[in-house]
A and B are shown apart, each in its own frame.
Chain A
Amino acid sequence: MKAIETRFLNKTYGSTPVVDGINLIVEEGEIFGFLGRNGAGKSTFINMLTGITLPTSGSFSLLGVDGPSERIKKHIGVMPDYSTLFNSMSAMKHLKFLSSLSGRSVSVAECQHVLKLVGLEEAGKKKVSKFSFGMKKKLGIAQAIIHDPSLIFLDEPTSGLDAESALHIHKLIVSLQQQGKTVFMTSHNLDEVEKICSTIAIMKDGGIIKSGTMDELRSYYRSAITVQLKHDPIPAGEAQKLYAWLETAGTELQKTPAFTTITVGSELKIAEIIRAFTNCHVNIFRVEVNEPSLEEMFLAE
């Protein structure tokens, strides 16, 4: 089943399109990473799906229900960006209140469990006004999952968190996926997205310019596979012939007596390169293959 499906979803402020006719499908059980520079329209897109803002045109459905629909709200959890929590409430009251709005009353034990999941087990009775930025962020995630939703929207869940807390949240997001939930998240942290997201979309100027699994994106950007070989010195008689062949096999050839680095367009070329070295009676000690990182793909756009 499709967790999210948008059809020509559009949002315009004045004459400026912020989200420009997006068609997107997110399958159930995915961790979907939504990337884009500041102002690309990521938050506006999430805000439309979650009822914070209204689309100018187009339509969407969440968990098979056409939106914006009130009956789907109890099945989604949202951590919006730039939100202020209810400062006068304790973390526990916060969770109980927001959960009751979703039509599910939760026990103290359930609240404690979710607070523990986000690393706030000691702060249940503490007022939100006394929370640090990181603690508020964690509580923001806790309130998004307290009512056990099937589809969770997280707008930059780890921005501003220390490395340990961010890792903790990554594990939580992965565990949510393992429970069968769909997570739709935006992030500026490309390493994070690369590590935990199963599918990714890159947004630019209100539209999606690329989307797919990490492997699909890599195959699109495959011209950037870098192969580095550590080897014996190449015999003088063979060097000219080998380097001439390597220049036809790939690009950006770098050579030193002990290392050769080359960028190729296909994985198949790697085997050919190794074969070429062995045919020239050159021992290879190590082969390193660097596929394009998400950051490199992102920057390429």
Chain B
Amino acid sequence: MIAIGKREFISMFKSIKSIIIIAILLITSYYSAKYSEILATAIALTEKEMANIHTVGLLFVLMFFGQLFVMGLSHDSINKESHERTMRFLVTRTSRLRILFGKFAGAWFFWFASILVSFLLISIFSLKFDFFIFSQVIALSTFQISLAILMSVVVPKPSITMFLGILIGLLAPILGAWIALTDNTWISWLKFASPYYYLVEDNYLFLIIFCLAGLMLAAAATIFNRREF
């Protein structure tokens, strides 16, 4: 698992897509934190919002584009190996669960490292490191990575997951926000399956997001164990 995770982690840093995404995160974090005081004077904010003003830019990017970024990098993490038949080398050497969780771990550490650096950059301006928001963001990323892995297991063709990834990446935050906030009783029950619902309130309900991610990974593992290469 470690070998697969390490390979996944390193290969993610090597692609041009990941370099662009890291650049977007870092530039957004830097400039939004640097000029957050201007934003604070322009609009009326609560005391709590004022306290988190430095992270607002990064949170905006991750909430609205995070899923798109994750899908962009991980939509083919499993099915590319199957499609190119390199998966045959992996499944003859180690367990399928180790392959799946190795891939997940590699992607998770990539996002953990990228977000951590972004938060450290913000902390230069805010003079504090907000562990609570950082944990919320990590929970959201965990959900997004699990969704990408599940999709990559379910759909065998990388070209289709690329298309679906863009679609889900664009629609997920919009639908997620709508489901989390709507009063429509036919729709609102879906909010319990949406990570955004658990991020609306500043409490530890966001930990449920990890459970949702776990469920998706369990589903992915079940399907992956029955796959043929």
Contacts of A73 on B, CB cut-off 8 Å? Answer: 92-95
Among A51, A78, A97, A101, chain B packs the most CB atoms within 10 A around the CB of A101
Tell me the A134-149 residues at the B interface (CB within 8 Å): 143
A52, CB-defined interface residue at 8 Å: yes
Is the pair B7, A97 in contact by a Cβ cutoff of 8 Å?
yes
Is the pair B94, A84 in contact by a Cβ cutoff of 8 Å?
no
Among B84, B91, B93, B94, chain A packs the most CB atoms within 10 A around the CB of B93
Given contact pairs A84-B86, A97-B3, A101-B4, A70 touches B92 in the complex (Cβ within 8 A): no
Is the pair B94, A53 in contact by a Cβ cutoff of 8 Å?
no
A172, CB-defined interface residue at 8 Å: no
Contacts of A51 on B, CB cut-off 8 Å? Answer: 91-92
Chain B, residue nearest A70 (CB): B95
Is the pair B86, A83 in contact by a Cβ cutoff of 8 Å?
yes
Is the pair A52, B88 in contact by a Cβ cutoff of 8 Å?
yes
Tell me the A81-108 residues at the B interface (CB within 8 Å): 82-86, 88, 97-98, 100-102
B85, CB-defined interface residue at 8 Å: yes
Is the pair B88, A80 in contact by a Cβ cutoff of 8 Å?
yes
In angstroms, Cα B161 to Cα A159, docked, is 35
Contacts of B186 on A, CB cut-off 8 Å? Answer: none
Chain B nearest CB: distance from A10 CB in Å? 15
Is the pair A50, B92 in contact by a Cβ cutoff of 8 Å?
yes
B163, CB-defined interface residue at 8 Å: no
Give the bracket for the number of chain A residues in contact with chain B. 20 to 34
Is the pair A101, B228 in contact by a Cβ cutoff of 8 Å?
no
Is the pair B89, A98 in contact by a Cβ cutoff of 8 Å?
yes
Give the bracket for the number of chain B residues in contact with chain A. 10 to 19
Chain B nearest CB: distance from A87 CB in Å? 8
In angstroms, Cα B98 to Cα A296, docked, is 47
Contacts of A70 on B, CB cut-off 8 Å? Answer: 94-95
Is the pair B85, A83 in contact by a Cβ cutoff of 8 Å?
yes
B229, CB-defined interface residue at 8 Å: yes
A54, CB-defined interface residue at 8 Å: yes
In angstroms, Cα B88 to Cα A76, docked, is 13
Tell me the A44-58 residues at the B interface (CB within 8 Å): 47, 50-54
In angstroms, Cα B93 to Cα A76, docked, is 8
Chain B, residue nearest A81 (CB): B88
B90, CB-defined interface residue at 8 Å: yes
B226, CB-defined interface residue at 8 Å: yes
> Would you list 12 pairs from A and B whose C-beta atoms are within 8 A, ordered by A residue?
A51-B91, A51-B92, A52-B92, A53-B229, A70-B95, A80-B92, A83-B88, A83-B89, A84-B84, A85-B86, A86-B86, A100-B3
Extra 11 A-B pairs, beta carbons < 8 Å, given A52-B88, A78-B92 = A50-B92, A51-B92, A52-B91, A53-B229, A73-B92, A78-B93, A80-B85, A82-B85, A84-B86, A86-B89, A102-B93
Q: Which residues of A contact B (CB under 8 A)?
A: 47, 50-54, 70, 73-74, 76, 78, 80, 82-86, 88, 97-98, 100-102, 143
